[in-house]
Structures are given as C-alpha cells and as structure tokens.
Amino acid sequence: MKDIQTDGIPTFDDVIAAHERIKPHIHRTPVLTSTYFNDLTGAELFFKCENFQKAGAFKVRGASNAVFGLSDEKAKLGVATHSSGNHALSLSYAAGRRGIPCTVVMPRTAPEAKKAAVRGYGGKIVECEPSTSSREAIFAEVVAETGAEFVHPYNDPRVIAGQATCSRELMEQVDDLETVIAPIGGGGMVSGTCLTLSTVAPHVDIIAAEPEQADDAYRSFKAGHIIADDAPVTIADGLKVPLKELTWHFVSNYVSDILTASEDEIVDAMKLTWQRMKIVMEPSCAVPLATILKNKYKFAGKRVGVIVTGGNVDMDTLPWLTA
Amino acid sequence: MKDIQTDGIPTFDDVIAAHERIKPHIHRTPVLTSTYFNDLTGAELFFKCENFQKAGAFKVRGASNAVFGLSDEKAKLGVATHSSGNHALSLSYAAGRRGIPCTVVMPRTAPEAKKAAVRGYGGKIVECEPSTSSREAIFAEVVAETGAEFVHPYNDPRVIAGQATCSRELMEQVDDLETVIAPIGGGGMVSGTCLTLSTVAPHVDIIAAEPEQADDAYRSFKAGHIIADDAPVTIADGLKVPLKELTWHFVSNYVSDILTASEDEIVDAMKLTWQRMKIVMEPSCAVPLATILKNKYKFAGKRVGVIVTGGNVDMDTLPWLTA
C-alpha cells in the first residue's frame, strides 16, 4: 500500500490506498432506487446510501483513512479535531477502532445529543466558547498538551482521499452514470468525488448542491475565488463551513455546476424521502434531491448518482414539525 | 404454474406458484444487519425490510397473488376489500398494475392521508360508518353491484401464500437462521411464515410479537381457541384485527411462542430503529424488536430473522412527539 500523503493534492493512487486501508472499518453501502422519485423527476436516480455508513455518515471514510494511516508512534499520541458534527463522531469512531485517544473541541452550546454521541464512540470532549477565537485558542492548547495529530474535517488530503472511496464504490455498483450530485459545505465529499471521477469516469458531470442560505460555494464558483461566509443560517448544518484551498482546487477544476435550494425545498425533499423511500436522511443530505426536483429539466432522461451523505437526525426536533 | 387455490389451507406448492406469479410486481427486499442492535441484544439479527416493499409493506405480496391469480373473466369485474390500512393500499396497487378496478370500503373517519394514498394507487373508496354493521352492509352492496372479487386482508389462501414468499426469500438470503419473528394481527404474515418454514426449515422457531394492548392472539394461543377482541386500542394499528380460521390453523400448529410489548416499548423500539438503522418502520413493525429487547435471554447467541413488515407512517404525527 502507498504511504499516506499528508500534504498537497491527493491523487487517485491515494484513493486506492485509502480504500484498502479503511475497508475493514467501513460499510460498502448499498445503492437504492425509487420508482416514485424516478417518475417524479424523469431521471433515473441511484442513491448511494451513506446514511447507512458506520457512525451514520460518509465522514467515517476520511476519518478512518487519517487514523489508520498514522504510524504507530504518532498514533499513540492520538488525534484531535474541532467539529460539532459528523466529523467529530467519525473521528471518535475511527480512533476507538484503533484504540487511540481522540479529543474533540466543541462549543459548550453544542446539543447534548451530539456530545453524548461523541462520548458514545469513545471521544473526549473539550468545550470552548462558541467563537472562532476561543475554539482556536483551546484547540492549540489541546494539541500542545497531547501532541495529538490534527485531522481537519475536509481540508486534508487524507480526508479527501477517504471520501473519494464513496464514488469509487458507486461507479462499481452502477453502470453508465452520466451525472453525480453531492451536497457541498467545506467540499470534502465533492472533492473526493472529483478526485475519483476525473480519473475513472472523466465524462461524468459533477454537480454540487448547496442551501441558498449558505451559498458561499456557489458564489465562490461564480467569482473564481473562495468567498467565505461568516455565519450562515441553514437547517443543513453540515453545509455551513467554507471552502479551503484543497477543496477549492477540486471544485474550481472539476465541478460543472452548483445548484441551490431554499430551506423549505430542503425540508420538503427530506420529508418526502422519509415518506417514500423509508430511509432517514439528515437535512444536509436532502439538498441534492431538492435541487433535482427544482431543476428537473437538467436531469430528465439521465442516469444520476445521488450521494446520500448521512442520517444523523435529532428525532425530537424534526424540521417539518417545528415552526 | 399451479392454478391458484381459492379455498382451504394453502400448501408450499401454492407459495412457489405465488412467487412466480408476483415476482414482476414486487421487490425482492434487502436484509439489513445492525452492529448496534446485535451488541444491544447479544443476538445476530437479520432484518427483512418489507418497509422497502412496493406500496410500503409486505401486504402487496398477498394482494398481488390474489389479483394476478384471477382469470381474465373474473378480473374484468375487479376486486374489493374493506381495510383502512396497508392491505387497501396494496390491493389498489396490484389492481392498478393489472389495469382492473379496485374498490375499498373504508370508514369515513379514516385519516385523509390513507384515503389519498389509496386513490394515488388508483383505488376507488366507498365510505361507511365506523361500525362493523355499516361496513358489512356497504361492502355487500359494493360486491352485489360490481361483481368484484373479495380479497380478505388475511383469511384467504391466496393472501397467505403470497405473504409466505417473504420468508422464502429470507431463507434464501440468510443461512442458518434459528428463529424468525414477525408481528401478529390477523396472522397473515405469521401464517405465511409458518407455511414456508414448516416445509423448507421445520427446525426454525417461529415467534409472533403482539402489542400487550391487543393481545388477542396471545390469549388465543394460551386458550387453544380463537379469542377476538372487540376494539383494542394500540399505536400498532396494523395489529388490531383478530385471528380467523385459516390463520388460526397455522398459528396453533406452528408458532412456538407469542411475546408481547407495551405501547412505550413499541414506540421506543420504533424510534431507536429510525435513529440507529436510519430506516423508517411503522409502529406495528417495531413490535418484534420491542419484544426482543424485552426478552434478550430468549434470543442471545442466536441468528434471528426479523420481519420488518412496513414503513407507512404519517410523518406529521410521530408517536414519540405526541403526548
């Protein structure tokens, strides 16, 4: 297996090595189809169900690649990150599998359910104030004290190579895809998709889907440089973070379009999936379907891969039941 | 293919013929596993996911067998049933596939969502008052007027043979099962399971799971004869109906035990499945898992097939969110 690359743009060789490295720790998730959604959209949709992934989201691919790519010596010191979302869960899961410490810096205001889930996977939480300055200061302390390896949620070649294994599986599972669509926040999944498809299927259109209310990637794409929002407000809480240099490289070079959806469209698509496909999608991962339903003409008649990124939802606060 | 049997106890030859007959109209549903639930129960659970079935429930197997087993002459007159649940949806779906009329007698008080779903599949609804006498009178009128073939939700050999195809698939999909558990209402699914397993795997334990608040099958099983409740109240609305002579035949001869769960236990199991497996189960189909969680000692160390019967849920009135 190729040594893990910790710096610069990852290559498809890194993806192959990542896949071999993480296979014992992840699911090869199924691809589902839905006659209902095919009829509704006029497209043939193939849903790659990372909501069934370990820790409930695709993020476990990148996190596992980073954790299992560490030398024994480095691994002993553990890993650390700042995240209150699926990356925190996933890194805790992967570290737990390797039996090494994982520290997550999380705002003290983060939902208790999220904190409990991280602890459930064996992660240690260090709380910060809900501000960037506090987070950075506390995180620096954690790293200085522990010597832990920082695994960024997306701007890390190990993480991007790990996420890229998802579309590699999808291309093995479904023939003749013409388009692949995935949600975009920081751009880790989209970058991984670009990395795989630009090598194994360069003719496939890659489309990113984003909430209107957190459309920094859309505006970056149009402007030709990264535009970072300060504090976007959207139900799709996995998609609030901005692009960074590694993900911008992939997005600017390989994405053919970025489509956006309103909050109501996202919630409607989410609810409709639960009702008709009988699967639990989190809000972030309903965004691609919301944009397909809004732009049917772009997808009709095509074979479209849809990355269903995760299914971690607080069942007590469902968005269509809260005002 | 064997001619369809419309009277008496169906045999495994009827199941083979049913399977051939309905294959173009149903999904071979997947079997899912969950590390979380295996760890929690100490058993190895294999979930046969009929929530992913056409029309959202296993009932489409029996309904399709009845509909596609009709002679062309009989089929022209259509089919009819009384049901406000998944059988109504399923019969409408199957009749729509064959292009014949389907009339469903339903209480005028049934939820609008259910009525809309039946109409969405092409079924015609005739409303009755919410009483047995009104239902029977109106249903007799419908049959007299249309000449439609009555397809009972469960006390019909065609329906039982159709439901039996579910456990036939399960036995092909999973090796070495020791126990199979399914919810029991009228007993159609359990009877089908008995019919298949008593032929292809007679050593497998068959357990039925029932709500404590609608435990007529449990009491019948203990008493040795059918006890029918008048109007049980349970969240598991698919399981309120009593056993009838055909299903009692299978239950009394082949079921090894009937376990019950309280309303809270059912809701907890349902919610936990959504949270951890990321699939949508309806209350009725969470009952087996609820009884497994309550009787772990009975299942620990065993390979257990769990029939997940359906996923038709009103997303606006989730039971853990209503008082």
Chain B contact for A120, CB < 8 A? Answer: no
- Protein fold of B12-57+156-308: Rossmann fold (3.40.50)
Confidence of residue A101 (pLDDT cuts 50, 70, 90): very high
Which two structure tokens, joined as six digits, stand for A306? Answer: 């849809």
Q: What residues of chain B lie within 8 A of the CB of A52, using their CB? A: 32, 277-278
b/e for B301-321, b at 16 or more Cβ within 10 A? ebbbbbbbbbbbbeeeebbee
Contact B278 A52 (CB under 8 A): yes
Does residue B2 carry a pLDDT above 90? Answer: no
**In B42-80, which positions are buried (b, 16+ CB within 10 angstroms) versus exposed (e)?**
ebbbbbbbbbbbbbbbbbbbbbbbbbbbbeeeebeebbb
Kindly indicate the confidence band of residue B323, based on its pLDDT and cuts at 50, 70 and 90. low
Does B318 sit within 8 Å of A315, measured CB to CB?
yes
CA nearest B278 in A: which residue? Answer: A280
The pLDDT score that the predictor gives to residue A237 is 87
Is A274 an interface residue toward B (CB < 8 Å)?
Answer: yes
- pLDDT over threshold 90, residue A113: no
Q: What is the pLDDT of residue B91?
A: 97
What does the pLDDT look like over A273-284, one tens digit per residue? 999 999 999 999
A313 contacts in chain B (CB < 8 Å): 275
Q: Output the CA torsion sign for B129, B134, B140, B144.
A: negative
Q: Does A275 touch chain B (CB under 8 A)?
A: yes
CA of B121: which chain A residue's CA is closest?
A36
CA nearest to A55 within chain B: B276
Residue B321 contacts A, CB cutoff 8 Å: yes
- As a whole-number percent, the residues of chain B with pLDDT over 70 amount to 99
Average pLDDT, chain B: 95
pLDDT for the residue B1: 66
Contact A278 B279 (CB under 8 A): yes
Query: Each residue of B39-73: pLDDT tens digit?
Result: 999 999 999 999 999 999 999 999 999 999 999 99
Check if B203 contacts A (Cβ < 8 Å): no
According to the per-residue pLDDT averaged within each range, which of A83-87, A114-118, B189-193, B233-237 is highest? B189-193
pLDDT-above-90 percentage for chain A = 87
* Optimal mutation site among A49, A278, A309, A314, interface B, most CBs of chain B within 10 A: A278
Q: CB-CB: which of B32, B56, B321 is closest to A316?
A: B321
- Angle, in degrees to the nearest 10, between helices A157-173 and A59-68: 130
Q: Rounded CA gap, A236 and A247, in Å? A: 19
Nearest CB to B279; choose among A56, A279, A315: A279
**How high does pLDDT run on average in chain A?**
95
Of B51, B313, B315, the CB nearest to A320: B315
Asked whether the predicted pLDDT for residue B3 surpasses 80, the reply is no
Q: Which two tokens stand for residue A34?
A: 């839905």
Calculate mean pLDDT across residues B273-277. 96
The answer to whether A39 contacts chain B (CB < 8 Å) is: no
Note which residues in 143-162 of chain B have CB less than 8 A from chain A: none
User: Which residue is associated with the tokens 């109906």?
Assistant: B241
Instruction: Using a CB–CB cutoff of 8 Å, tell me whether A32 touches chain B.
Output: yes
Contacting residues of B for A320, CB less than 8 Å apart: 315-316
Is A283 at the interface with chain B, CB within 8 A? no
Closest partner residue to A279 among B271, B278, B315, by Cβ?
B278
In sequence order, the β-bridge partners of residue A149 are A79
Contact A279 B274 (CB under 8 A): no
Instruction: Give the pLDDT of residue B282.
Output: 95
Per-residue pLDDT at A208 exceeds 70: yes
Q: Which residue in the set A51, A278, A279 is minimally distant from B56, CB to CB?
A: A278
Left (φ > 0), alpha (ψ -120 to 50) or beta: where does B125 sit? beta
pLDDT band at A133 (very low <50, low <70, confident <90, very high): confident
Residues of chain B with CATH 3.40.50.1100: 12-57+156-308, 60-150
Q: How confident is the model at residue B246 (pLDDT cuts 50, 70, 90)?
A: very high
| Amino acid A1: pLDDT | 67
Among residues B304, B240, B238, B235, the alpha carbon closest in space to that of B265 is found at: B235
Give A133 to chain B, closest Cα distance, Å.
34
Q: Compute the count of residue pairs across chains A and B with CB atoms less than 8 Å apart.
A: 45
Binned at pLDDT 50, 70 and 90, residue A185 comes out as very high
CATH number, span B60-150: 3.40.50.1100
pLDDT at B191: 98
B280 Cβ under 8 Å from any chain A Cβ: yes
Quote the minimal CA–CA distance from B318 to chain A in Å.
9
Distance CA B22, CA B25 (A): 5
Per this entry, what is the length of chain B?
A: 323
Mean pLDDT for the stretch of residues A17-29 = 97
Check CB contact under 8 Å for A320 and B321: no
Q: Where in chain A is the domain with CATH 3.40.50.1100?
A: 12-57+156-321, 60-150
Query: Is the separation of the CB atoms in B14 and B1 below 8 Å?
Result: no
Q: State which CATH number among 1.10.3720.10, 3.20.20.70, 3.40.50.1100, 3.40.50.150 fits the domain covering A12-57+156-321.
A: 3.40.50.1100
A56 touches chain B (CB under 8 A): yes
What is the structure's pLDDT at A5?
76
In this prediction, residue B149 has a pLDDT band, given cuts at 50, 70 and 90, of very high
Whether B30 has its CB under 8 Å from any CB of chain A: the answer is yes
Cβ contact B318–A321 (<8 Å) = yes
CA A149 to chain B, closest CA, distance in angstroms equals: 28
Residue reference for tokens 């990264």: A226
Picking from A113-117, B72-76, B280-284, which range would have the lowest pLDDT averaged per residue?
A: A113-117
Q: Point out which residues pair with B308 in neighbouring strands.
A: B49
Q: Does the beta carbon of B271 lie under 8 angstroms from any beta carbon of chain A? A: yes
Residues of A in contact with B275 (CB under 8 A): 280, 313, 315
Q: Which residues of A touch B286 (CB under 8 A)?
A: none
Q: Does A318 touch chain B (CB under 8 A)?
A: yes
Rg of chain A over Cα atoms, rounded to whole angstroms, equals: 18
Considering CB atoms only, which of B274, B279, B315 is closest to A275?
Answer: B315
Selecting from B30, B278, B313 the residue whose C-beta is nearest the C-beta of A51 gives: B278
Average pLDDT over residues A194-211: 98
| B275 touches A at CB < 8 Å | yes
Residues of chain A neighbouring B32 (CB-CB closer than 8 A):
52
pLDDT digits (tens, 9 = 90+) for B219-228: 999 999 999 8
pLDDT band at A323 (very low <50, low <70, confident <90, very high): low
Is 0.85 exceeded by the ipTM?
yes
For A302-322, what is each residue's pLDDT tens digit?
999 999 999 999 999 999 997
The per-residue pLDDT for B281 is 96
B109-144 confidence digits (pLDDT tens) = 888 888 998 999 999 999 999 888 898 999 999 999
List the single residue in A56, A279, A320 with the smallest CB-CB distance to B280: A279
Single-letter amino acid, residue A164: A
Per CB-CB distance under 8 Å, the chain A contacts of B30 are 30
User: For position A217, what pLDDT does the model report?
Assistant: 97
Could you tell me if B238 lies within 8 Å of chain A, comparing CB atoms?
A: no
Of A2 and A7, the structure prediction assigns the larger pLDDT to A7
Measured CA to CA, the distance from residue A190 to residue A161 in angstroms comes to 11
